[in-house]
A and B are shown apart, each in its own frame.
Chain A
């Protein structure tokens, strides 16, 4: 019986992330439009876009290989699994121990690996430009992320997100320099990983500035829908991660009743909304960088993460 309830809660988490991800994208778009004096599409527009893409036929290049057709599902599946493993409304879910934070990052790296390969598959120059820039960005963002993980793991004594969240809820956390540095670094990495301004522009139509969009340029129909929803899930994942580690209030602990879960879910939706507005505000108030300024931006995150880890090696109280 307990196992069944645990399974149900885990299942609820998996469906929750996939149901909320397009909404989050819609909220961010709407907020950006309102902030720039536009009316903007409805917050539910991403769902309609996905439904439309799913109905359409797929048009692929003559020389696209099996990898091109398999990649969207692999990208979606790895991102979904990663997103389902980050605590959203409750900690200590049934399968939360099957992968820790390092594994979640590696899952996202797997999704990126296949996205970059798909960009190279048709053999167009735009696909190549996207892939080559994406791996450059990733080669700095991933180590920065791992240094943030080290920071969290040294503070909380664990790389398990449930344990980290529980520790962050406990009174022994206090204000720490290392966590502050880690938060700044995590936000920078999150912006870069989700192809947001100032690193990349998710709505760009100017080809030479594209990174993520250039890689997926050749996709259409259901394949594009898979990639779009994976991108939305990734944004949700990073916001969930920041919320779970730095704003863990409202997270339902292990083995609670339905009320705690409902409260946790409500708190989670609130956090998502707040983070979505913050992201939209940030994006409208800053200009996009040249692509070779990005390494400096991400290098700052890497250095902040390293500094935070070093401080913790020097003394656990930082």
Chain B
């Protein structure tokens, strides 16, 4: 506990000292190196803390009648491990990547502060500390989003982010106010004491979904995420997508599972519907996106949806006292939290390396990077396979566990859930398949084929620190996929704390198989699957090269005999997505392809236009924006009144407030 707080203090001190670092090596290296060291210490402490008893600590800071309370229980330790793992990887990556930063002093002080803020949110044990840390995290990340403020789209991203973050905090503030009740017991321990009789629990759930969900990127509160995450420098994008969304999930889990009280079954309906919708809509955006970093940000939205489906299932089971099934669903959700932190950080590191090497993130100007950047491409390939839920990587295991949880749900008696869960299962399956398509497109257009632009043709491999960070995460993706039992057992104390039960111990099973319920029901062994694939691939390659031909000749591509001179004839980002756009996006996104052929005999070129619209932005946000504009225009009239009218306004306001007070009491 003191070690965790010490790490936070150390990070804040590093942030302060970095003001004098000067922004160039060795100063920036020292800062990132210090972040790496502190994150590693915190990571080690948290791994040790997972199985230990909860600790609490109160510091005489903050509001005098509350103080600053901190708690370190298994749930917090699990999320802190994720935060610090992501922080350590991002710091290692930044040791190399940070040197390409055009304005390092806009990043350097905020990076450690951002890490400290995320740690602090998870440690908080009262509403005041929680909200303070939450805002601290939001503001430091906002400053990082604004690091490249000279681009107009980044300015807009920062503005939208600031508005949405304030809205989210407002919702959490109201939720805590309702949780604390009229007596104002803002410490989490006091709130937990009132679990049994909780008035307005449904309203609190909605507020928490709005507050934590807007930070996590739930549809339709996601609009800021694909703007803000890619705008930051790539190591910060990795932290925001891979880690900060997890802190938001922590907030949701802590409040809804820990503080709110016994769940009711319709809560699960809400969470499942939003989770399933988020997964599908997020991946549909991703599959049509042309900007590599934006594509990754949209895919984050999809994965957050998958996590929320797991959480919704856990709520449904919990409401019906099916504790072991709830433990399975919750394990699946938490495991996906860990896995997504690993592979999304890896993918953002890869995108950052591409950005460093070529200076662009537009898929239509990349291509062929596998030749100059073999190590980066291998790392990105592992990340893409993991996020597409391909065995033997880690993404598959958490999706597999989620599907197993879906298959346990016919035990649930409520009809609403009975009809909803299969539909959500189908949404999840659709999202998983589309994620595969999305990452074939992302990897294929970035790294394969021929370079579509001069910058891509001149690319060089990135520095060793970046490659080391990517390699470590890629290895972790594989390890978590082939030894999932270790991860499940590691998460078991946090699951037990929330679900009242835990999954059966997995590490004692023979061959390190994972068995969620019973072996006759389902089991999966990542290690064996990996060994089978590796050995049969090696065996076939060995046998063929030994026994059959191993001759190889290079030549021009065949391509059915068509001479194909320019790289422009390759598939582009929008043409690759065209079949998917046509099948999936003609309703939800009003995607239209229009072809305008010139009349016979005319020499005018034919025109082709593909467009799709963001209906969520147009139908939900634009009316609000217009309404605020109109209200601001009306309020403008108040600016030029005479003193008499101002006094009358003040008097009128006072009287009406007194009347309201009188009517209230």
Q: Which A residues form the contact surface with B (CB < 8 A)?
A: 54-67, 73-74, 76-78, 80-81, 84, 95, 97-100, 102-103, 106-107, 109-110, 112-113, 116-117, 120-129, 131-133, 135-136, 138-143, 146-147, 150, 153-154, 157-160, 163, 207, 217-218, 220-222, 225-226, 291-292, 295, 302, 305-306, 309-310, 312-314, 316
Contacts and interface: CB of A to CB of B under 8 A. Distances in A.
Given A123-B567, A132-B575, A138-B437, A61 B448 contact: no
Interface in B506-555: 511, 513, 519-525, 528-529, 532-534, 536-537, 540-541, 544, 548-555
Nearest to B388: A113
A139 to B, nearest CB: 5
A109 B436 contact: yes
Nearest to A119: B444
A55 B545 CA distance: 10
Nearest to B543: A54
B660 interface: no
Number of contact residues on B: which range applies?
35 or more
Given A74-B537, A103-B529, A222-B549, A61 B575 contact: no
Contact of A313 (B422, B562, B569): B422
Contact of B440 (A106, A117, A147): A117
A124 B565 CA distance: 10
B555 A102 contact: no
Contacts of B436: 109, 112-113, 135, 138-139, 142
B549 A160 contact: no
A217 B540 contact: no
Contacts of B377: 67
A139 B433 contact: yes
Contact of A128 (B418, B511, B571): B571
Interface in B384-429: 385, 388-391, 396, 400, 403-404, 406-407, 409-410, 418-419, 421-423, 425-426, 429
Contacts of A60: 552-555
B152 interface: no
B497 interface: no
A120 B445 contact: yes
Contacts of B557: 61-63, 122-124, 218
Given A57-B551, A158-B521, A123 B437 contact: no
Q: Is the interface of A mostly helix, strand, loop or mixed?
A: helix
A159 to B, nearest CB: 5
Contact of B528 (A98, A120, A132, A220): A98
A142 B227 CA distance: 31
A249 to B, nearest CB: 21
A100 B390 contact: no
Given A81-B533, A217-B560, A106 B390 contact: yes
Nearest to B407: A153
A73 to B, nearest CB: 4
B370 A66 contact: yes
B537 A73 contact: yes
B236 to A, nearest CB: 29
Contact of A125 (B521, B537, B571): B571
A234 to B, nearest CB: 15
A127 B571 CA distance: 8
Given A100-B524, A117-B443, A159-B522, A73 B429 contact: no
A77 B370 contact: no
A222 B370 contact: no
Contact of A160 (B419, B522, B554, B577): B522
A13 to B, nearest CB: 12
Nearest 7 CB-CB pairs, A to B? A128-B571, A123-B449, A57-B551, A120-B444, A77-B537, A135-B437, A143-B429
A126 B522 contact: no
Contacts of B450: 63, 123
B580 A110 contact: no
A231 to B, nearest CB: 15
Contacts of A147: 425-426, 429
B420 to A, nearest CB: 9
B283 to A, nearest CB: 9
A199 B521 CA distance: 34
B158 interface: no
Given A63-B368, A117-B444, A136-B583, A106 B391 contact: yes
A295 B583 contact: yes
B578 interface: yes
B71 to A, nearest CB: 38
B564 interface: yes
A225 B554 CA distance: 18
B553 A57 contact: yes
A150 B548 contact: no
- Which of A103, A131, A163 has its CB near the most chain B CB atoms (within 10 A)? A103
Given A63-B371, A98-B525, A138-B436, A103 B448 contact: no
Contacts of A106: 389-391, 396, 400
Given A60-B554, A124-B570, A132-B576, A81 B536 contact: yes
Nearest to A163: B520
B596 interface: no
Interface in B58-89: none
Nearest to A112: B436
A218 B385 CA distance: 23
Given A106-B389, A143-B432, 16 more contacts: A55-B548, A59-B553, A99-B528, A100-B522, A100-B523, A103-B524, A113-B385, A121-B449, A122-B557, A123-B567, A135-B437, A136-B579, A146-B426, A153-B522, A159-B407, A160-B520
B400 A55 contact: no
Nearest to A205: B560
Contacts of A76: 536-537, 540
Contact of A65 (B371, B425, B523, B541): B371
A158 B426 contact: no
Contact of A99 (B391, B544, B551): B391
8 contacts: A61-B554, A81-B532, A113-B390, A136-B583, A139-B430, A143-B433, A222-B550, A302-B426
B286 to A, nearest CB: 12
B367 A123 contact: yes
Nearest to B544: A222
Nearest to B579: A136
A101 B465 CA distance: 40
B569 A136 contact: no
Given A63-B371, A128-B570, A102 B400 contact: yes
A158 B515 CA distance: 12
A234 B440 CA distance: 21
B1 interface: no
Contacts of A302: 426
A131 B553 contact: no
A226 B569 contact: no
Nearest to A296: B583
B523 A98 contact: yes
B202 interface: no
A56 B441 CA distance: 32
Given A99-B525, A217-B558, A110 B390 contact: yes
